[in-house]
Every structure is written in structure tokens, then in C-alpha cells.
Amino acid sequence: MSAVSLEGLRKNFGSVPVLDGIDLEVPAGSIYGLLGLNGAGKTTLLRLLMGFLHPSGGSGSVLGHPLGRLDATVRARMAYVPEHPAFYPGMRVGELLRFVAALHPRWDADAAARYLDAFDLPVGRRVGALSTGMRTQLALGVALATQPELLILDEPASGLDPVHRRRYLQVLLEAGAAPDRTVLLTSQDLGLVERTCDHFALIHGRSIQVSGPMAEILDAERRLLISAEPEVYEALRALSGVRTVRAEAHGFLVTGAVDAEAVRTIAGVSDMQEQGVSLEELFWSYVED
């Protein structure tokens, strides 16, 4: 079952296309990372899922309901934390919790108390007096206390110092482990995504370039340092799964889901070193051009 399912989703702002033909399946119960350069459309996609924006074309569903027609009952099963959460600065933390509790039908006061304790957030302090890291943690705690089935986070650990970051990720991983919860997040921190997410998708050129289970994709990827004559270039480019071929001293650097044995059969290849690929290396192999 998919928590999010998109097919051919498009979004234009005026005559400018931002997303063009997004196909995406986010399995229920997964922690799913959305990657992409600044301006790739990640935040726009999250806002489309929440219903803050309307698509220009394509179709999709969120928690089994058609995209763009999410009623209050469905929205109550979702929580969204933007990159820069906004609160009433004059409210004290405890007042903020009571305010949200009065509005949200799924509010769990015990869970809210646990998250405040985990983050060491003072109930009596005014929200405007909290540090940036503490406000970020407060936003996550409030979102989780609404017991969301789909938790959507935009750049969740941006700007956190090491102490706040560690606590934040511990709570996020514990919350994401709940069998009835799906977490969908964007992040420029590739290390964070690789450590926390079991699935990911890369948005580049207004569409999804690669998506699926993290372990399967990285296991299939190869970085091959090949000693070969220059005329081997075209044969390497023609191989199935090859994404990039770059000239190096005495040969080539090849990246992609490449069959190393097929490379060895090419006439003119004299030596080859095979390496695995990290998420960061995979990311740059798609976007560096």
C-alpha cells in the first residue's frame, strides 16, 4: 500500500514549469527522503501533497484519497512541518500545546508531554524566547502529538547544532518506526537521508530521476575506474545502465548500475577498479552537469 501515489504530476507557476511529470510511490510505513538541488521543486511538491497548492496536471492520492480533494478528516491524519516553523511568539510553550489541543481532534496530551521532556523544552517559556533549535524541536513535538499517519518535514534538521540535532533525529527515528506512520522529508543533508531513510527519490530537471529502496539502489550502483584507450569511450557509453563516462588519466570513470563483467569484455580495457557508491556520489552523478 502507498501513503502517497503520484502519476504525471505537473505544477506551473504562470508559464514557468516547476514540476513536470512526477511519478512517485511512497510506501506506507517508510521513511522516505526527497533529494534535489535548491529550486528543484521539493517544497512545491510537499505543498501540493498538503493541498496548499493545486496541481497543473497529472493525478495522485494521499492516504488513499485523491490529491487536491482532501477533506478535514484526511488532513487531520497528516502533519506538516515547514523549514521555518511559525508560532505566536508571545505564547508560552504550555499555552501553545493547549491551543493546538483545542483545535486538533487527534491530539495526544501524553505524547506531547513526552516530546517536551525528550527535548527538554520549558513549558513556561515564551515561544519567541526559544532558540532556533528549540523551536525546531517544538515543531516536531507538536506535529507528532497529533498522531499523524503521514508526517511531512521540509529540511527537518536545518540549522541545528550537534546537541539539538542528535535529540531531534533520535525522536524522528523512534517516531518513524511506528508501523502505522509514514515519514516524507526533504533535506540537503545527504548524510542525514542516508542514515535515516529507507527509500528516497531524486528530483532533477523537474522530474524524478531515480527512486526506490535505498539499499537496493545503492547496491546496484557502481563507480568503475577503467584503464583503457580513448577509442573505448563509445563502447562504454553504449553499455546498459551507464549514466556517466568521464575521461580520467589513462582511462575513464564510469558511474551507474553497470555490469562490471560486461565492461571487462570490451576490447581495449586493460584494467578496472570497482567501487561501491554512497548516496552523495550517486546524487552528484545525476546533478553535476
Number of domains in the chain: 2
Range of the domain at 281: 221-287
CA neighbours within 13 Å on the CB side: how many for 37? 13
**Which of 217, 243, 261 is the last residue before a domain boundary?**
217
**Nearest Cα residue to 216 out of 262, 257, 260, 273:** 257
Residue with cell 532533477: 204
Residue 202 and residue 228 share a domain: no
| Domain CATH number, residue 277 | 3.30.70
66-95 pLDDT per residue, tens? 988 888 899 999 999 998 888 899 999 999
Q: Is the pLDDT of residue 222 over 90?
A: no
State if pTM tops 0.85: yes
**Nearest Cα residue to 261 out of 284, 241, 285, 231:** 241
The CA–CA distances, whole Å, from 95 to 38, 88, 252, 268 equal: 36, 10, 62, 72
Q: Is the pLDDT of residue 115 over 70?
A: yes
Residue 165 and residue 29 share a domain: yes
Q: Are 87 and 95 in contact (CB under 8 A)?
A: no
Tell me, what's the pLDDT at 289? 58
Residue 203 and residue 136 share a domain: yes
| Domain CATH number, residue 60 | 3.40.50.300
Residue 50 and residue 161 share a domain: yes
Residue 230 and residue 164 share a domain: no
The top-scoring range by mean pLDDT among 71-80, 158-167, 232-241, 260-269 is 71-80
Residue 182 and residue 83 share a domain: yes
Residue 88 and residue 28 share a domain: yes
Choice among 10-14, 152-156, 191-195 with the minimum mean pLDDT: 191-195
Task: Report how far residue 245's alpha carbon sits from residue 17's, in angstroms, rounded to the nearest whole number.
Answer: 30
